[in-house]
Amino acid sequence: MIITEAELRDQLRTPTLGAQVVIPAGARLSPSAADFIKQWSLVAVDAPTAAPAATPGLAEEWDKASVFPVDFTGSIPTCTSCGMEVTQKASALTQLNAHHFASKTHPRIKLRGRVDSLHAKVLLIQRMAKEAGESALARDLGTVAAYCRELTSAEYNERLVAPLQLQTWSVDDIHRATHDPKGVLGIEHLTIDEDDTELQHLLNVVRTDAREIEILALETFPSPHHPYGESICHAFNRLSSIFYFLQLRMKAGAE
């Protein structure tokens, strides 16, 4: 594999002296890429290893309750994600990763904001599902909300995202259900109208949100060789399928 200057720029967007770039093991740099690293004194680090496959029925490490992003227990506030001290910064900037600030118009920051909005909607729908007595839906939306946090963590920490796994349905089973709902759930592909429940319509909204965010992720990480961006783009593709699966399962009355 040959890493080009364009692919390095995809990782950084706005290069800064001493920034890190991820180079997959065994990859070679094009002459312009080597010059680009030398010009900006970039630090090359190894690509992250692939996340292990999910095991049906077992809770994933990321499937846990949310925590406030700043720890105030010590003498200096610290970030609960990266452990760095939370210091003052310009109002137009935000942390791109554990080492660099970036403009709030940076593509990765825009993507992060859309994931935050999706997370908020999922939490709201989870609350509504709980109030409506849809316990299985509420449980799985809690997992999806945790996965939104995992997506943000992977993007912030510049690593591969873990696979999305529901507690009682494997990835393969979900794939079969969304492609053959008649064979798996006993219903045809779903179309909804004014007679469907509010929960169905809200699930449909977040399904379309996930598809739009996938496009934004592809614009943010356009190279299929990006060391971690490709896994994030794929995760949003799977996430929209999960929402459709939850719609189908709710329509079928299945657990």
Task: Dump pLDDT digits (tens) for 62-71.
Answer: 677 766 666 6
Residue 125 CB neighbour total at 10 angstroms: 24
Q: What is the pLDDT of residues 158-204, one digit of tens each?
A: 899 998 888 888 888 999 999 999 999 999 999 999 999 999 999 99
Q: What is the mean pLDDT of residues 25-52?
A: 76
State residue 32's pLDDT score. 85
Which burial class, exposed, middle or buried, applies to 223 when counting CB atoms under 10 A from its CB (0-12, 13-18, 19+)? middle
Amino acid at residue number 228: Y
Q: Which has the closest alpha carbon to 79: 91, 93, 68?
A: 68
Which residues, including other chains, have CB under 8 Å from residue 42's CB and lie 6 or more apart? Answer: 8, 15, 18, 19, 20, 21, 36
The CA distance from 223 to 201, in Å, is 34
pLDDT at 37: 86
Confidence of residue 216 (pLDDT cuts 50, 70, 90): very high
What are the tokens at 77? 């506030």
Q: How far apart are CA 135 and CA 254, in angstroms?
A: 11
Q: Pick the residue with more confidence: 95 or 119?
A: 119
Residue 180 tokens, joined: 């053959």
